[in-house]
Amino acid sequence: MRRLTLVSMLAAGIAVSLSAAAQDAQTATGDGCVVLDKVVVGDIEIGAPWARATRPGQANAGGYVTIVNRGTEDDRLVHASSPRAGRTEIHSMEIVDDVMSMRPLEGGLELPAGETVRLQPGGLHLMLIDVAAPLGEGESIPVTVEFEKAGPAELSFVVRSASYGRGGHDHSAGADAEGAEVAGVADDCAMGQQAGHGGHGSHNH
């Protein structure tokens, strides 16, 4: 009987440990979503990939993700592609005198050693161009990203509602600071609360 009790206690302890580990790996964001484990390739960690849902006839969509360079050498995001889009570009965006200016990054996106780079509404982002079919809320779309040193990584971008992030990047309105903050919450969720794991700062060029 005592042996059975000990076995039961051990099983209960293991269950609690697994539950805690799962809670660490799955953290709820502000909108109630659950973001799963990050993707690691070489010294690069990638987390919180998401895109906005598109409407019928809308040809382009923004994609957002957080990238952490854990290495001692700089790297660079040089290419991205998805079967759901004719092509995918890495874009920068800024607002000058209330006018939104957006352009592809020539030569890719720099990823300094030991720093975090966030692609989020109102700033750096992936642009999925010539989307053949609308991106529906709740679905996942495959995206391949390639780094100069770390190599390629396969990601699954979760499609959020068209209003998620509120006004960040829909080619019809300017960037909304509050929307960028919402995206930042999702980033911190997926990256396991970066501030508590080395405190790397944000780097947005």
Residue 185 has pLDDT above 80, yes or no: no
Average pLDDT, the chain: 74
Q: Is residue 118 predicted with pLDDT exceeding 90?
A: yes
Alpha-carbon torsion 187, 192, 193, 195, what sign?
Answer: negative
Please give the DSSP secondary-structure letter assigned to residue 202: B
- Across 9-18, 39-48, 130-139, least confident range: 9-18
Rg over alpha carbons for the chain, rounded to the nearest Å, is 19
Is the overall model pTM greater than 0.75, yes or no? no
Q: Which domains occur in the chain, in start order?
A: 29-196 (2.60.40.1890)
More confident residue, 203 or 143: 143
**pLDDT per residue as tens digits for the range 186-196:** 444 444 443 44
DSSP code string of 116-173 = EEEE-TTSSEEEEEEESSPPPTT-EEEEEEEETTTEEEEEEEEEEPTTTTSSSSSSSS
Q: What is the pLDDT of residues 61-81, one digit of tens each?
A: 999 999 999 999 999 999 999
Counting every residue written for the chain, the total comes to 205
Q: Which pLDDT score is estimated for 43?
A: 97
User: What angle (nearest 5°) sits at the alpha carbon of residue 39, between those of residues 190 and 167?
Assistant: 45
How distant is the alpha carbon of residue 152 from its chain centre?
16
Place of tokens 């051990």: 10
- Using DSSP bridges, classify how beta strands 61-69 and 116-119 pair: parallel, antiparallel or unpaired: antiparallel
Task: Please state the rounded mean pLDDT for residues 7-35.
Answer: 39
pLDDT by residue (tens digit) across 154-180?
999 999 998 887 544 444 333 333 333
Can you give the pLDDT at residue 101?
A: 82
Quote the pLDDT of residue 194: 39
| Residue 54, CA distances (Å) to 7, 23, 202 in order | 53, 31, 28
Closest CA to 65 of 81, 77, 51, 79: 51
Which residues, in sequence order, are bridge partners of residue 69? 44
User: Is the four-CA dihedral 139, 151, 47, 106 of positive or negative sign?
Assistant: negative
